[in-house]
Structure 1
Amino acid sequence: MIVLVIAVNLIGWALLALGLPGHHRAWFGAAPAPGRRRLLRLSGWACLPLAWGLAVAQQGHELGSVMWAATLMLAALAWALVMAARETLSAAGGRTPGAAGARRVAKGQPRS
């Protein structure tokens, strides 16, 4: 069950991040439309209390809340590492540039 709590928290962080124009542009090449942005953020915020409910259902209020907070931080770290790895791999492989690469290209600066 802890894996499910981590997965729901990770999905929540991913949806919240993709609701931001810069992160959405890095993954999909364009900023999200206002309706999509709202949906991504709403879905992301809905996942976080859902994960808390799952943790509390498994461990009770005291330990479930602690487990949820720990898995929330773990999921945030995992998502940050995914974003950093994607940026590094896209810069090294010459594929679609991430947010930093897109800014360099927009300014006319060559890739390093």
Structure 2
Amino acid sequence: MLLALLLCYGGFTALCLSMDRHHADLLGRKPSAKRRRHMKLGGWLLLALSLWAAVSATGWGLGLVEWFAVLMFSALLLVLLLPYRPRLAMSLAVLGLIASPVCAVLS
């Protein structure tokens, strides 16, 4: 479930960075059209991978329930961190994406 959480948070952060306003707030510049497309694709890919991680860990019955819980928690965490601690939100996403291969190997 930790792997699904890390991937969900990274996916939502990538989707957040695909928006002009959030990208400018967090990184200090507007994204190009190509970067925006890559961020959207990466975000959706990470969310799909998180679904796979949740379902492969516990099966479809419980995996979907856990995935929705992780989805809501990671979105809530990002929404609460963005206005008050934007650098922490970015740092957590980077650390989560770095730690996710380790979690995948240990699972």
1:82 equivalent in alignment to 2:81: yes
Aligned mates of 1:78, 1:6 — CA distance in 2? 11
Alpha-carbon offset, residue 12 of structure 1: 0.3
CA RMSD of aligned residues (A): 0.9
Alignment-derived partner of residue 57 in structure 1: 56
Pairing 1:35–2:34 present: yes
Displacement of 1:81 after TM fit? Answer: 1.4
Show structure 1 runs of 4+ deviating over 6 A: none
Structure 2 distance, partners of 1:51, 1:33, is 27
Total equivalences in the alignment: 86
Query: Which runs of structure 2 are paired with 1:94-105 in the superposition (5 Å)?
Result: none
Q: Quote the offset at 1:13 in angstroms.
A: 0.2
Whole-Å separation in 2 of the counterparts to 1:13 and 1:71: 12
Between the aligned partners of 1:86 and 1:58, the Cα distance in structure 2 is: 32
- Where in structure 1 are there 5+ consecutive unaligned residues? 88-112
Deviation at 1:86, TM superposition (A): 2.5
The runs of 5 or more residues in structure 2 that have no matched partner are: 87-107
Task: Give 1 or 2 for the bigger CA radius of gyration.
Answer: 1
Partner of 2:85, secondary structure, is: helix
Query: Partner of 2:29: helix, strand, or coil?
Result: coil
- Identity score, percent: 35
Correspondence 1:69 to 2:68: yes
The one-letter amino acid of 1:64's match is G
CA distance in 2, matches of 1:36, 1:52: 24
SS of the equivalent of 1:30 reads coil
Per the TM alignment, residue 30 of structure 1 is displaced from its structure 2 partner at its CA by 1.2
